[in-house]
Amino acid sequence: MKKFILPFLLGMMILAASSCTIFTNKGAAAKAEEKSRAKIVNVEVQTKFNNAEKLESIAGLAYGTGYALSKVNDPPKEVGVAMDLNQRIVSLAGSPTVEKMKEMQTMIDKLTSLLATERKEGKQLLETKDIIISALQNETKALVTAKEIEISKYITTAQQLAATADGYKAELQEYQGWFGLRAVFKGLWQFIKSSMWILGIGSILFIILRIVSMSNPIAASIFSIFNIMGSWIVNIIKLIVPKAVEMAGHTTNHLFDAYKSTMWKLVDGIQIVKERATAAGKAPNLNEVLDEVSKSMNSDEKAIVDEIKKELNWKQ
């Protein structure tokens, strides 16, 4: 039975590998869709962070505007209106952190200072704010573009999935009918076609390898794989139908060895008696030959001799 364990395991490994491939291919489309959708979600998350940063900047600037307006002495009505509107902006954008408030107060104090050096430093701080605002705006544009690209890719992937699903549905409909027999016949026909392709290609490769193996030792070693596979097939046939090999005109190793052993002992016995007779200077005696051969043979080998005599119509 050990001879059949290796072929069985090999077949199971091939079946498992093909099954894994099928399931992997089925999941590839779903994975592509999930990956595309994840990219869109990632862009949306980055957009939320960008919007939060913009609101934080707006809150800081609104606070700075209110702080600058509060420094006006005897403000006119227009300033009062501007401060009221600015309060509404703060209520929408939210209040900045204490750190941001201090930064805005420092910048406004420097911009409204009587000293030129202070005003220059204030302008530098304002330019820094402009750089931050510009970076946020560029990031917003980039995120909008990236989202459009990812959405376009997602739509393409979804269309491909839909087309694939429609194709599978149409193909499955072809297998419906005849109380399920249509699927059986189509599957059988597909199996026959695939088998013919495999057998055709395999036969061509076999013939080429067989011809090359006659002169190339490397090809001969590769061709030995076919010999091993052939022995597996023969062993399986022997296991299922033990007499099939003999009925096909071939002999098993066990039967061949039995006949070979019988022949060897027969020839050996004749030669022993012949050598003895030659040494004694007399003719060989048939009875001595029979006795010598009988002593060396076992019951199975004697039975083979009796069977041969019977087939030749000699008396026992």
Number of domains observed in the structure of the chain = 3
Q: Please check whether residue 316 lies inside any domain of the structure.
A: no
Q: Which of 174, 191, 206 is the last residue of a domain?
A: 174
d(CA 316, CA 306): 7
- Do both 143 and 187 map to the same domain? no
pLDDT, position 214: 79
Q: How many residues does the chain have?
A: 316
- Do both 122 and 34 map to the same domain? yes
DSSP state of 74: S
CB contact set of 245 (below 8 Å; sequence gap of 6+): 234, 237, 238, 251, 252
pLDDT, position 245: 60
Tokens 């006795």 map to which residue? 291
pTM for this prediction: 0.42
- Angle (deg, nearest 10), helices 253-280 and 299-311: 90
Stretches where the chain sits below pLDDT 70 are: 1-27, 29, 166-167, 170-171, 173-180, 238, 242-256, 286, 289, 312-316
Domain span at 277: 253-311
CB-based contact 93:85 (threshold 8 Å)? no
Taking alpha carbons only, the member of 296, 288, 302, 292 closest to residue 259 is 302
d(CA 282, CA 274): 9
- Do both 139 and 166 map to the same domain? yes
For 83-110, write each residue's pLDDT tens digit: 888 888 888 888 888 888 888 888 888 8
